Structure 1
Amino acid sequence: MMRPILIGITGGTGSGKSTVAKEIFKSFREDCIAMIEQDSYYKNQSHLSFEERIKTNYDHPNAFDTPLLVEHLTKLLKSQIIYKPLYDFKEHTRKKEMIKVEPRDIIIVEGIMILQDVQLRNLLDIKIYVDTDDDVRIIRRILRDINERGRTIQSVIKQYLEVVKPMHEQFIEPTKKYADIIIPEGGQNKVAIDIMVSKIKQILIENK
């Protein structure tokens, strides 16, 4: 089996990186592509009290178990099966269940800090940064955290201004320079997504 193509998709919270990842994913047969979400690799906090867990800064590199993510991606690149963790954002820790992920020809890994860690960055064959206007991103963040993560609008706005925005400027925005491709406006940019899909298909043909 050939070495899989490892594609990293990053960008700020609410940039549309997940939509870009899903659009690329849908363009291939499910038996040849796998998706790894960096959000699944937030550190296990089951040893902490709930009061301590809710203080977690999810927008800082230290919140992630990056060594485990690097280990899992390395295994997939060597055609080995992994068991991906699942994260419970209401309980602020990992779930007991895990998801079996089998190696595939294409592996997408998406998340806000994909290009921040040098070891993780060096594994990637294609590095994509999704660049979206700050106003659009905060609106998407508010809707997501209220609807999917049970937060109040006041808590989301407070967190955005005090944590998310400064963390984005410190850790995420600077990683744009490492990207091979910058996609403006995320999932709305059908042309850029189509170009990426064509490029991936071309690499697959060349690697056979």
Structure 2
Amino acid sequence: MKTTIIGIAGGTGSGKSTFTNRLKAHFGDKITVMYHDSYYKPHDDLPFEERQKINYDHPDSLETDLLIEHLKALRAGKAVDCPTYDFAHHTRAKEVVHVEPSRVIIVEGILILQDPRLCDLFDIKIFVEADADERILRRVTRDIKERGRSLENIMEQYLTTVKPMHYLYVEPTKTLADIILNSGLNDVAFDIVKTKIEALLAEKE
């Protein structure tokens, strides 16, 4: 079985998760979705106060080597156990997610195009962009509702790490993308990518 890997990148709050979730909702178990965020390095050796200060928007905060290893295994037809991350406590969770090989794998994350080794694994590279004001508002909403963060903590993190890391590591990778979207809700782009995935899935049958 030939595996096609699609990378969906973009800044925090750009709409990449929205686009990814739309594809997952449409195709269900026919495709596999993996998140670079799941591969944040564990920091069990540090107290919570110190874990809060880590720059999670720097490439070094992620165990990208493990993600690359897992993608290569899946492409070779082998199942993997993906880590999960506890964003409320800033450390890797004990639970893992068992992933079987599939015809189409989507990998989502802000930094997935930044590492050349990971970028080279993608057959299709998509970058979702959005206005900076929209991105920070979406991040605030997400981190308060889903990750139990305070507004003060979110704003401090955004100004000290998220914003500078975006312009240093995320924005430059836009030039590597095959497709650049202006919104995760772009229906024309969704239909194009959906049609491509349908064609890939049909090749197997």
TM-score scaled by structure 2? Answer: 0.96
The alpha carbon displacement at 1:207 in A equals 6.1
Given that 2:86 and 2:92 are in contact with CA atoms closer than 8 Å, whether structure 1 keeps it comes out as: yes
DSSP-derived class of the 1:10 partner: strand
Match of 2:140 in 1: 142
- CA distance in 1 between counterparts of 2:53 and 2:80 reads 30
- Whichever residue aligns with residue 136 of structure 1, its letter is E
**In the TM superposition, what are the counterparts of 1:192-203 in structure 2 within 5 Å?**
192-203=189-200
1:189 to 182, 186, 191: 186
Percent identity over the alignment?
52
Query: Do 1:38 and 1:109's aligned partners in 2 also have CA atoms closer than 8 Å?
Result: yes
The aligned residue for residue 18 of structure 1 is 17
Distance 1:123 1:159 in 2: 31
Instruction: Assess if the C-alpha contact under 8 Å between 2:13 and 2:134 holds in 1.
Output: yes
SS state of the match for residue 27, structure 1?
Answer: helix
The match for 1:160 is 158
Instruction: Quote how far apart the aligned CAs of 1:204 are.
Output: 3.6
CA contact (8 A) 1:133 1:185 kept: no
Paired residues in the alignment total: 205
Secondary structure of the 1:84 match is: strand
Aligned counterpart, 1:35: 33
Contact 2:39 2:83 in 1 (8 A): yes
Name the counterpart of 2:49: 51
**Conserved 8 A contact 1:12-1:112:** yes
Task: Using the TM superposition, give the Cα deviation of residue 206 of structure 1 relative to its aligned residue in structure 2, in angstroms.
Answer: 4.7
Runs of 4+ in 1 over 3 A off after TM superposition: 203-208
**Is 1:128 paired with 2:129?**
no
**Partners of 1:35 and 1:129 in 2: how far apart?**
16
- Give the whole-Å Cα distance in 1 for the aligned partners of 2:78 and 2:200: 21
Once the two structures are superposed, residues 12-63 of structure 1 have per-residue CA deviations (whole angstroms, 9 ceiling, x without a partner) of: 0000101111111222241x21110111000011122223211111111011
Superposed displacement of residue 153, structure 1: 1.2
Distance in 2, Cα, partners of 1:51 & 1:27: 40
Q: Distance in 2 between matches of 1:177 and 1:84?
A: 29
Task: Indicate conservation of the 8 Å contact 2:4/2:103, yes or no.
Answer: yes
Shift of 1:85: 0.5
Match of 1:171 in 2: 169
Deviates more, 1:94-103 or 1:194-203: 194-203
Unmatched runs of 5 consecutive residues or more in structure 2? none
What aligned pairs does 1:77-116 form with structure 2 within 5 A after superposition?
77-116=75-114
1:163 and 1:197 map into 2 onto residues whose CA distance is: 34
- Runs (5+) with no aligned partner, structure 1: none
**CA contact 1:142–1:156 (8 Å) conserved in 2:** yes
Q: 2:190 corresponds to which letter in structure 1? A: I
Contact 2:13–2:136 (Cα < 8 Å) also in 1 = yes
Q: In 2, Cα distance between the equivalents of 1:122 and 1:39?
A: 19
